[in-house]
């Protein structure tokens, strides 16, 4: 079965047909928005980047286990001749690179435009693999690097769909990440463990969605 069809079925069965576009948190679905950027360091310096990496890696350690079945959905808006390249940095983060199960798709229209470049289209990629074969630490670091044009960097949107734990983790940049799931108890446990990283601006909304009264 084509990977895009598999992912579509997972989103339909486990996430009520959720569409993977940002901002992921602002869908009426049980979710947590975490703040990854530390206030005590200057944005982009070494201490700042290390703390961002420390926070996302701690969160992901409870969200992703080595035997989990993972779908990585990567959306990359394109212009001119830009595209997702199989020899790029992202593909190097898979242990069994030569036997990797993946699928590409092109779109004539972008999912959105930003203020820097008017996109002409979009390239999309799905990779299916066990979590133990994916170097998530490198992936998170390269996402955090993107806004600062530090190499290695991954542009675009990368959604980690964990079929086993029935959750989606989306790190949008160095500032934060979203975690969504219809497993309320799972999210409540994650909230309790990492309450200090929950984004204060959205805390009350998060508590409402997770049925947390304290």
Flag whether pLDDT at 24 surpasses 50.
yes
Integer-rounded Cα Rg, in Å, for the chain is 17
Flag whether pLDDT at 213 surpasses 60.
yes
Give me the phi and psi of 4, to 5 degrees please: -65, -35
| Cα–Cα nearest to 62, from 191, 212, 197, 206 | 191
* Tens digits of residue pLDDT in 166-202: 999 999 999 999 999 999 999 999 999 999 999 999 9
Burial class (CB in 10 A: 0-12, 13-18, 19+), 72: buried
What number is the average pLDDT over the span 132-159? Answer: 95
CA 45 to chain centre: 23
pLDDT score recorded for residue 106: 79
Flag whether pLDDT at 118 surpasses 70.
no
Give the span between the Cα atoms of 33 and 175, in whole angstroms: 10
Average pLDDT, the chain: 90
What number is the average pLDDT over the span 109-129? Answer: 69
pLDDT score recorded for residue 116: 47
Give the span between the Cα atoms of 89 and 85, in whole angstroms: 9
pLDDT score recorded for residue 109: 62
- To which H or E segment does residue 205 belong? helix 203-209
Flag whether pLDDT at 53 surpasses 80.
yes
Flag whether pLDDT at 71 surpasses 80.
yes
Asked if residue 102 lies in contact with residue 108, where contact means CB atoms within 8 angstroms, the answer is no
């Amino acid at each position: 079965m084509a990977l895009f069809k598999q992912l579509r079925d997972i989103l339909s069965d486990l996430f009520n047909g959720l569409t993977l576009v940002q901002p992921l948190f602002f869908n009426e679905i049980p979710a947590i928005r975490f703040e990854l950027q530390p206030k005590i360091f200057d944005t982009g310096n070494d201490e700042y980047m290390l703390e961002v990496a420390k926070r996302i890696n701690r969160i992901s350690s409870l969200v992703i286990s080595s035997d989990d079945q993972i779908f990585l959905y990567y959306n990359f808006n394109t212009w001119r001749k830009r595209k997702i390249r199989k020899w790029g940095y992202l593909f190097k983060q898979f242990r069994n690179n030569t036997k990797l199960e993946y699928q590409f798709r092109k779109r004539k229209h972008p999912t959105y435009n930003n203020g820097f470049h008017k996109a002409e289209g979009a390239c999309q990629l799905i990779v299916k693999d066990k979590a133990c074969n994916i170097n998530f630490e490198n992936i998170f670091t390269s996402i955090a690097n993107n806004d600062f044009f530090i190499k290695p960097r991954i542009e675009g949107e990368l959604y980690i769909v964990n079929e086993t734990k029935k959750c989606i983790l989306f790190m949008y940049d160095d500032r934060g990440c979203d975690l969504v799931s219809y497993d309320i108890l799972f999210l409540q446990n994650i909230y309790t463990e990492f309450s200090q990283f929950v984004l204060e601006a959205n805390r009350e909304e998060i508590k409402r969605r997770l049925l947390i009264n304290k």
